Amino acid sequence: MKTVLWATLTANGNYAQSTPENPPKQEALDDFAAHAKAAGNFIVGRRTFEQMQAPGRVSQEELANADGPFAGMDIVVISNSIHDIPGVTVVRSPQEALNYLLHKGHQTALISGGADIHNSFLNQGLVDEVIFNVAPVLEGKGLNLLIDQNNYGYKQVQLLDCKPLGGEVVQLRYAIDR
Ligand SMILES: NC(=O)c1ccc[n+]([C@@H]2O[C@H](COP(=O)([O-])OP(=O)(O)OC[C@H]3O[C@@H](n4cnc5c(N)ncnc54)[C@H](OP(=O)(O)O)[C@@H]3O)[C@@H](O)[C@H]2O)c1
């Protein structure tokens, strides 16, 4: 099973945070929905999952709605504090999330954030491909994606694709050798 990390970056390379002043671009959200539909799943951290369910975002009903954008999708929430959320699968670790999706027969696992989850997968060397959507915004102090949170180091990656998504968002896709 291939693991794909999908993330939005700011134009100055930060890990983009979704806030009322900096909402995600529709083009990036549409791209996420397309990748999630193609994979048939996505993995998300407990805090991002809660953020997705904030007023005006995706409701519990939409997640369960047979006609909605996430219909029939395996949604996996990683949490150590919550044990059960209706309509989704809750697991305790990145590896447990991958084991679950592998067992369900998925070809691709889509890792959709947030920062802790993305960094956990990167730190544990569990990512085959990264998709970065670069949004047209600069940010001050922010979050970062790191392959190692304690040490300096580099990992060469191979550029697979680079394309504009519209709305001034540019998508970069890289393969990571494991
Ligand atoms: N740039 C992007 O593409 C993107 C995508 C999504 C979200 N975001 C942004 O990211 C931010 C939220 O990220 P976040 O780091 O605060 O939260 P998060 O990664 O969504 O969720 C963190 C929670 O996930 C669980 N968790 C994380 N790592 C774990 C591990 N290794 N093992 C077990 N459980 C683990 C813990 O849940 P418990 O506390 O329940 O144990 C932890 O509190 C927001 O600003 C959001 O807008 C950005």
Q: Is the pLDDT confidence value at 58 over 80?
A: no
Give residue 161's pLDDT: 98
pLDDT in tens, 31-57: 999 999 999 999 999 999 999 887 667
Q: Is the pLDDT confidence value at 61 over 70?
A: no
Q: Where are the domains of the chain?
A: 1-19+124-178, 41-105
Q: How far is CA 6 from the centre of its chain?
A: 4
Q: How far apart are CA 153 and CA 146, in angstroms?
A: 10
CA of 119 to the centre of ligand 1 (A): 9
Which of 21-25, 59-63, 71-75, 106-110 is the least confident region?
59-63
Hey, which of 116, 120, 143 would you mutate to test ligand 1's pocket, going by the most ligand atoms within 8 Å of its Cβ? 116
CA of 163 to the centre of ligand 1 (A): 27
Task: With residue 130 as reference, give the H or E element that holds it.
Answer: strand 129-135
CA of 47 to the centre of ligand 1 (A): 5
Give residue 69's pLDDT: 74
Give residue 66's pLDDT: 65
Give residue 162's pLDDT: 98
Q: Ligand 1: list residues with CB < 6 Å.
A: 7-8, 15-18, 45-48, 51, 78-82, 92-94, 113-117, 120
CA of 46 to the centre of ligand 1 (A): 6
Give residue 42's pLDDT: 97
Cα dihedral 68→70→146→124 (10° resolution): 170
Residue of 25, 109, 33 lying closest to 68 (CA atoms): 33
Hey, which of 10, 47, 110, 120 would you mutate to test ligand 1's pocket, going by the most ligand atoms within 8 Å of its Cβ? 47
Residue 6 CA: nearest ligand 1 atom is 3
What dotted CATH number matches 1-19+124-178? 3.40.430.10
Q: How high does pLDDT run on average in the chain? A: 93
Q: Is the pLDDT confidence value at 113 over 90?
A: yes
